[in-house]
Amino acid sequence: MAIDYQKNRVVFSEVAGAEEAEGLLEWLSKHPKGKIDLKECSHLHPANLQVLMAVGCAAYVAPGDAGLAAWVATALRPRP
Give the pTM. 0.89
Domain ranges of the chain: 3-76
Average pLDDT over residues 56-63: 86
Query: CA 30, 32, 37, 43 torsion: positive or negative?
Result: positive
Span 16-42, pLDDT tens digits = 999 999 999 999 999 988 999 999 999
DSSP state of 8: S
Kindly give, in sequence order, each residue whose CB lies less than 8 Å from that of residue 60, ignoring residues fewer than 6 positions away. 35, 36, 37, 38, 52, 72, 76
